[in-house]
Structure 1
């Protein structure tokens, strides 16, 4: 064998070795790509290092990893064309669309607690816009945050104002089989909606299948703790679940929440909805993506 042939042969052998090595690592990373016990939903960017920046490619890669749903809070900000592409991709892969946030669905600037008609009108327009978006991506859940306290009003009056606004939103959404899920948050004490039982009371008062609780375990661990007992008390009104570990709001196993027990309990309750991965990642790049998948495989192994 002359030198030229030897070099060519060595390159081919080396390339084959690297391909085999990468294939093994990839297989280990994907862990066969089998679906999880619960339906966890990643969001854009979680697998951008491996799948690239295109969201459609990321969705396909998520499917390869075993995920069967996605979330995209910013869906209303995407073009109609992109929304349709995402919807078509999900349909082809047999994946579900998780929550997106109702445009201006209630915030500090237009809180529903104030009882002002102009604030309610903005919220209702957001509901109407959400119906059209939901049709394009086959979404069944939309996130609503009622906004901040209106501190010059008694709490009972504020609560009644929120309930009346949500009743009108539910009337719009119910014929389209869309559920607005109310999310109590921990971001600031100015927020009107902060606790599970408070949200339960409001959903009961609205009395519609289109108004339920979005239970985010990260926020509720910060606000109230006692996760499983409080979920159990309010279970009939919980329509959607999100997670993130605390402290840090990163993937399960990085904080104090025993997510294996929480997920096992949720499964035993018969929950078949989506579990949104509403958190950041403890590491960046491919290593972070591997750690993310590994964490969910670990806590899903019950």
Structure 2
């Protein structure tokens, strides 16, 4: 898997939810804090996002107007609001038992302004967030522009069509389209951001030498990588590569490798019934004892207990 796909897979849990809904002015919804990430697409009409404050901030940013075709992703599970107008009162959104949001009836007052929305939510495991996602802003807003982001627009149109008219196979198609939309959203944002950033994951994925090393680490985390070997993939000396990787990624190459191996091990323990020896081998450890020791140092508990508690 590539790095972005791997980062999403490491955090994604459960089944994503989505709905296509009509709102009639006045309306306002307050979404509570959650472990997941939510998105909204304005298909028709307008809406206002009442954004969450940044981490550690006391004051939320100014409301953001969303026009037809605009897409917004709420990334960190912080509470936020969505309304027809910034001054409209907000009603708390209460999720259904399966984690989805109830759909209001498609009716409203005569001549009321109508807004058609495509909304969804992803469940994420935030106990071990990938730094690639952790550096995202509180929300990602991608305005509609004629001819821009064709792949993202195609994912939105396909998802909207499936929700508007479910057909045989929709139960399998919709979750796949939701994952496609999430990856398309994030890729669109990073491609726009990387030109303006000299450090961080946007810059790391744009740097040929660091990106080649990350692809190698994610492609085969069990391989006994050396810094010299990783640097050679991008044509750099050991020292030059180590400096560049540490500056952009935020930790030295082998420290990141160890972190990713343990993240991979945690995902395998949660999702599969593989024997511990097999999990150890896929995580780069030939000894089950050495793996258990490293895992306990990283997670504070033994692999077996971690699996039982997941």
TM bucket normalised to smaller: under 0.3
Which has the larger strand fraction?
Answer: 2
Give the TM-score normalised by the residue count of structure 1: 0.27
Structure number with higher helix proportion:
1
